[in-house]
Structure 1
């Protein structure tokens, strides 16, 4: 019994009933337009007081509703939002964008017509049945209190047994109304994913949007890893070196502190630029992205301040490089030097070579192999990020031990996919 009452009057049933009432409210303008057509056609001035003419006006208005849904693409997202909130349909089973193709518009029009059709009928019943059911339920009491002065019954109802059954009939009428509303709501909920669900083109667009979002996330992850990771490694080593010679070499400590200040200030600017992408979609941040042309000298200076001897050979004019290539090359050099800082052990030298060969920009970073790069928990993404950057530019990246040294070698085409 409880399950039966929950089916008719539970929270889901009540929300679906509200959804049907909403459909009836949306149907009213179309009914009024139907009256303007039916009245002159049937030569009647009182369409509103004639139930058959009202039903005919309702039938005339429904095709107009279908046309409206087909003409206005936003009908589908609006109806999807109402179905998700009131009918208990999961968001993943509904399309949330405007209908673009004629097939999608046709399904949206069919749904809108069904919503208004069922909603108009249930709304009309909801207006008429409760007063009638209340009258039947109170009929014996009215007759007992006032007799014929309050209620004048037709002959067939002027019987004691009929009066006794009137409250039962009133309750049964309300249950019938609730049953009709529950069945209508269930049918609409079952048809909603079919008529308002995503079409193949919608699924394709959603997949493309997810792929684009994933690409942005990966790019942001690489930028954060390269800029912040390098800065933390450099600042840690600079602070450690300064602490060791604090009492014996004040000049070195002063240089290390200046390098820490420069590194952190620059990294905050890069971090703000990356977070600006998160705040503003894909808009540029407040700080420009570092490039090989404008920032290589500062990167080498900050790295040397960590106590690492860097021997650099630059056989190309960085100003002549394309902006995208210059930016990605800077990040690759930065990550290569960061790996040397983190994993060089007691070795204190690294060799950097940048040049052009066979139409490719070649970047080589070598340091003595005191220990192999470790795969720390949650880390080890630097070499993978370098490989991703090289692959996106149509190049290659190789890293590993070679003749007693750890060698990173990257080849980037001077002209290729940007």
Structure 2
């Protein structure tokens, strides 16, 4: 009970209530002016009923001032710092809807009203209780009490005055703890996320997840393809190191060029991570022949249609799909040839890649399979489709991408 009345949390909540009382003062002064103007004899607030009337008159003003969107983050900051409320139950986003604004206004009005009453009690009771505690020990004070009327104007009243003072202080602490607990309970209701806030947070998480997936696809396709090509070229060079030095020089040159291009693409992806640039520069269909020439496998390539008709986004994603298909062909295929056909027409781009299947089942790497999933995601985001799998002794990858349906 002592911790509940005088512990750290109780003291912090009392400070929060006193701050509410301080925030009430400008509005209370306006209420005093209004009440004084309505009274026939004017004057100041000189009685408890009149003070409560002035408080009621002044409360609409904090409610109106808390309707601004930026008020909610400021109120949440105070609650998180002093009220002991779970931060996850509150939202510090500006109140954009009227539902959120009205909730913030209700909270602010309640805070200043309860805080104003408790601040008045905190200012009035301690001096009075100090008077009661020292009353039995000073004859002059006792003479003053005896000359008045009331419960204290008796010997028993003066003797029990210190105990009454302690009871008043405990009652003040109990009122402060109860008021702080009430505000802490209502804070998640009035300052928590509204349905619109939850929807906005879900959309933000979805957007962040989409960016992460995009970065994962770019890193997997660019760096993964480069490593596959480098591994293939290095393995071929090692096998003919003594027999064909010319081929080894060509393989080393291809490895160098692949690594240089991959570093450039990796810099572009890291630039997006650093938010240096909102867009990610990616090779497109114009760079496809260069990709095929340094992939490390023989590719028979045919293009039907005008690449200039292909939108930039579709062109870039087609490049990445082909890149991942070549990586799979170099890792899992057999035989010297890969066939790639790209056809543009009828409002869509069709890409078909085939390579012979090996006699043994491909080795499944732990955590593998992201490449084909990334291809399907790229096609789906463009409003198209992609299918990959064995068919008649070959591995066949096909994708259909609409030229005008990119989402």
TM-score when normalising by structure 1: 0.86
Relative to structure 1, the CA distance from residue 335 to residue 51 in structure 2 (aligned partners, 3 Å threshold; closer, same or farther) is same
Answer yes or no: is the 8 Å Cα contact 2:305–2:345 preserved in 1. no
Aligned to 1:12: 9
Is the counterpart of residue 169 in structure 1 residue 164 in structure 2?
yes
Question: Which deviations, in whole Å up to 9, do the C-alpha atoms of 1:321-360 show, x marking residues without a partner?
Answer: 210110010000000001112212x534322222235443
Answer yes or no: is the 8 Å Cα contact 1:242–1:253 preserved in 2. yes
Is the counterpart of residue 61 in structure 1 residue 64 in structure 2?
no
Relative to structure 1, the CA distance from residue 111 to residue 343 in structure 2 (aligned partners, 3 Å threshold; closer, same or farther) is same
Relative to structure 1, the CA distance from residue 278 to residue 122 in structure 2 (aligned partners, 3 Å threshold; closer, same or farther) is farther
- Secondary structure in structure 1 of the residue aligned to 2:343: strand
Equivalent of residue 290 in structure 1, options 274, 283, 286: 283
Answer yes or no: is the 8 Å Cα contact 1:397–1:408 preserved in 2. yes
State how far apart, in whole Å, the 1-side matches of 2:218 and 2:252 are: 25
State how far apart, in whole Å, the 1-side matches of 2:289 and 2:208 are: 34
Aligned to 1:355: 343
Give the CA RMSD over aligned residues.
2.7
- Secondary structure in structure 1 of the residue aligned to 2:305: coil
Answer yes or no: is the 8 Å Cα contact 1:47–1:53 preserved in 2. no
Aligned to 1:321: 310
State how far apart, in whole Å, the 1-side matches of 2:400 and 2:73 are: 48
Equivalent of residue 107 in structure 1, options 103, 108, 115: 103
Q: Which stretches in structure 2 are left out of the alignment for 5+ residues? A: none
Relative to structure 1, the CA distance from residue 333 to residue 93 in structure 2 (aligned partners, 3 Å threshold; closer, same or farther) is same
Is the counterpart of residue 126 in structure 1 residue 122 in structure 2?
yes
Aligned to 1:136: 132
Equivalent of residue 75 in structure 2, options 67, 73, 79: 79
Answer yes or no: is the 8 Å Cα contact 1:367–1:405 preserved in 2. yes
Relative to structure 1, the CA distance from residue 252 to residue 178 in structure 2 (aligned partners, 3 Å threshold; closer, same or farther) is farther
Cα deviation, residue 53, structure 1: 4.9
Between 1:73-82 and 1:127-136, the stretch displaced more is 127-136
- Secondary structure in structure 1 of the residue aligned to 2:213: helix
Q: Which stretches in structure 1 are left out of the alignment for 5+ residues? A: none
Aligned pairs for 1:43-58 within 5 A: 47=44, 53-58=50-55
Cα deviation, residue 67, structure 1: 1.4
Equivalent of residue 331 in structure 1, options 320, 336, 342: 320
Cα deviation, residue 183, structure 1: 1.0
Question: Which deviations, in whole Å up to 9, do the C-alpha atoms of 1:244-287 show, x marking residues without a partner?
Answer: 444444433333333233223322322232233333297125xx
State how far apart, in whole Å, the 2-side matches of 1:23 and 1:373 are: 70
Answer yes or no: is the 8 Å Cα contact 1:312–1:351 preserved in 2. yes
Aligned to 1:190: 185
Aligned pairs for 1:257-272 within 5 A: 257-272=252-267
Is the counterpart of residue 312 in structure 1 residue 317 in structure 2?
no
Question: Which deviations, in whole Å up to 9, do the C-alpha atoms of 1:17-43 show, x marking residues without a partner?
Answer: 222122112112111222332334436
State how far apart, in whole Å, the 1-side matches of 2:145 and 2:135 are: 13
State how far apart, in whole Å, the 1-side matches of 2:293 and 2:134 are: 94
Aligned to 2:194: 199
Task: State how many pairs are aligned.
Answer: 402
Is the counterpart of residue 368 in structure 1 residue 356 in structure 2?
yes
Aligned to 2:145: 154
Question: Which deviations, in whole Å up to 9, do the C-alpha atoms of 1:77-118 show, x marking residues without a partner?
Answer: 222332233323334433433333333322222211111101
Aligned to 1:409: 398
Answer yes or no: is the 8 Å Cα contact 1:139–1:166 preserved in 2. yes
Relative to structure 1, the CA distance from residue 365 to residue 91 in structure 2 (aligned partners, 3 Å threshold; closer, same or farther) is same
Between 1:98-107 and 1:401-410, the stretch displaced more is 98-107
State how far apart, in whole Å, the 2-side matches of 1:299 and 1:129 are: 84
Question: Which deviations, in whole Å up to 9, do the C-alpha atoms of 1:161-203 show, x marking residues without a partner?
Answer: 4444333222222211111111111111222232223332222
State how far apart, in whole Å, the 1-side matches of 2:268 and 2:349 are: 26
Answer yes or no: is the 8 Å Cα contact 1:136–1:170 preserved in 2. yes
Relative to structure 1, the CA distance from residue 19 to residue 244 in structure 2 (aligned partners, 3 Å threshold; closer, same or farther) is farther
State how far apart, in whole Å, the 2-side matches of 1:296 and 1:183 are: 72
